[in-house]
């Protein structure tokens, strides 16, 4: 018996049609969703970043400063990890990705650890690098996860349990069907043009947008056999990078505001030797994200490539993939940039 991706306490009467091909639809392969405690009304995902002109000038100060808050005893995040990426202007960015089980916990941490005071005191020009803070508070109705194995990533570290094998995956539109709010809400966004940034010299706050769709989509090839690793690195990863480069450099063609293809790194050496990457992208709404996946040659090449890959491995795939998706109201998003170049995140 297949499980429902939406946990029982978030199910309600559907007023909008589901996309599932038929009531007895059986996906071709298993996948799971993370289950969060029933009392959890939302969670928090934050990206705290330091931006450097090049990798070689990245000093340890920014990273150790941010780390000192994250390991504080005061409501420290339930999970965090260090990541890095080279952005659209060739800058090197070090980012702590952190999760809290509630907005109240995040606020307590921010205040009690001293992070808030430090963040608010930052002045452009005090440091050679830029800083950015992006915080998202998705209510559980506006959040969904999909894992091809029961291996936690991201918000999955905050789970209480795993679902059984779910029915709602393996067809276009299943992401929408897994979001509890989509039972009754079509989640349309508003296309807002972003004002040109005042420049690199300022602290800039960017307002949230109605039904902004955010995806973190991860790949982990740590436990692949040597044969699968080679196949992944030579066939899958190049098409994935092409797709991420397209969204980063030409995102406006598909209403994607920002895309970063990030490595999970060893915080001590900053080496990207964890065999894990992920894409983080901000789309104008769920429809534009769906449309890129279903219609654009770059995701179609990733998607089609994956089935070729699985076939070559006789379906013995050890690559782990997951994603988490949230669709947010304006007051569930916070973007602030200090001394960052104008192409950063939601500034562009």
* Pattern 1-20, ligand HEM, x by CB under 6 A: --------------------
Site for ligand HEM contains 346 (CB under 6 A):
no
Residue 154 in contact with ligand HEM, rule: CB under 6 A: no
# binding residues, ligand HEM (CB under 6 A): 22
208 binds ligand HEM (CB under 6 A): no
- 256: its two tokens: 């994607």
User: Does the protein bind ligand HEM through residue 328 (CB under 6 A)?
Assistant: no
| Residue 45 binds ligand HEM, judged by CB under 6 A | no
Q: Which is nearer to ligand HEM, 159 or 299 (CB)?
A: 299
Distance CA 306, CA 41 (A): 35
Nearer of residues 42 and 324 to ligand HEM, judged by Cβ: 324
Nearest residue (CB) to ligand HEM, 119 versus 172: 172
Residue 244: name the closest of 210, 279, 276 by CA.
279
Question: Could you please report the per-residue DSSP string of 106-149?
Answer: HHHHHHHTSHHHHHHH--TTSSSSEEEEEEE--BGGGEEEEESS
d(CA 189, CA 146): 23
Closest by Cα among 53, 20, 44 to 332: 44
Q: How many angstroms separate the CA atoms of 344 and 259, rounded?
A: 10
Q: Closer to ligand HEM at the Cβ: 54 or 308?
A: 308
Smallest gap from Cβ 165 to ligand HEM, in A, equals 11
DSSP 100: E
Q: What is the sign, positive or negative, of the torsion defined by CA atoms of 320, 278, 64, 138?
A: negative
Does 284 contact ligand HEM by CB under 6 A?
Answer: no
Q: Is 240 in the site for ligand HEM (CB under 6 A)?
A: yes
Element (H, E) at 283: strand 276-283
Our finding on whether 175 is near ligand HEM (CB under 6 A) is yes
Is residue 323 annotated as a catalytic residue, yes or no?
A: yes
Answer for which of 5, 6, 31, 338 binds ligand HEM (CB under 6 A) is 31
Q: Which is nearer to ligand HEM, 164 or 170 (CB)?
A: 170
80, 169, 299, 323: the catalytic one is: 323
Binding mask 289-308 for ligand HEM (x = CB under 6 A): xx--x-----x--xx--x--
E strands of 233-294, at which residues?
256-264, 276-283
Phi, psi angles (nearest 5°) of residue 317 = -95, 130
Cα-Cα end-to-end distance for the chain = 46
CB-CB contact of 167 with 32 (8 Å): no
Cβ proximity to ligand HEM: between 56 and 234 the closer is 234
How many whole angstroms separate alpha carbon 197 and alpha carbon 347? Answer: 6
Under the binding rule (CB under 6 A), the answer on residue 327 touching ligand HEM is no
Binding site for ligand HEM (CB under 6 A): 31, 169-170, 172-175, 215, 217, 219, 236, 240, 279, 281, 289-290, 293, 299, 302-303, 306, 321
Catalytic (active-site) positions: 323
């Amino acid at each position: 018996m297949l499980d429902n991706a939406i946990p029982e306490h978030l199910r309600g009467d559907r007023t909008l049609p589901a996309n599932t091909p038929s009531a007895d639809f059986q996906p071709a392969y298993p996948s799971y969703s993370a289950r969060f405690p029933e009392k959890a009304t939302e969670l928090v995902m934050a990206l705290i970043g330091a931006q450097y002109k090049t990798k070689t000038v990245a000093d340890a100060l920014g990273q150790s400063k941010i780390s000192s808050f994250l390991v504080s005893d005061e409501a420290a995040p339930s999970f965090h990890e260090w990541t890095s990426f080279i952005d659209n202007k060739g800058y090197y960015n070090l980012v702590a990705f952190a999760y809290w089980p509630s907005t109240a916990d995040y606020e307590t941490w921010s205040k009690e650890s001293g992070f808030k005071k430090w963040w608010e005191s930052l002045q452009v020009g005090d440091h050679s690098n830029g800083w950015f803070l992006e915080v998202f508070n998705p209510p559980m109705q506006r959040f969904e996860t999909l894992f091809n194995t029961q291996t936690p990533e991201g918000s999955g570290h905050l789970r209480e349990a795993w679902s059984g094998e779910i029915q709602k995956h393996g067809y276009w539109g299943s992401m929408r069907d897994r979001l509890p709010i989509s039972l009754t809400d079509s989640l349309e966004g508003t296309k807002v043009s972003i004002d040109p940034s005042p420049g690199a010299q300022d602290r800039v706050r960017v307002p949230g947008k109605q039904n902004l769709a955010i995806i973190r989509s991860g790949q982990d090839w740590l436990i692949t056999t040597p044969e699968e690793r080679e196949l992944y690195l030579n066939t899958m990863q190049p098409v994935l990078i092409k797709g991420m480069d397209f969204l980063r450099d030409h995102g406006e063609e598909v209403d994607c505001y920002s895309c970063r293809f990030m490595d999970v790194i060893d915080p001590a050496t900053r080496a990207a030797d964890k065999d894990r990457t992920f894409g983080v992208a901000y789309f104008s709404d769920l429809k534009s994200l769906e449309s890129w996946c279903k219609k654009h040659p770059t995701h179609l090449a990733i998607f089609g490539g994956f089935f070729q890959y699985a076939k070559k491995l006789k379906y013995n795939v050890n690559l782990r993939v997951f994603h988490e998706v949230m669709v947010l109201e304006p007051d569930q998003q916070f973007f602030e940039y200090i001394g960052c170049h104008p192409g950063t995140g939601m500034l562009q």
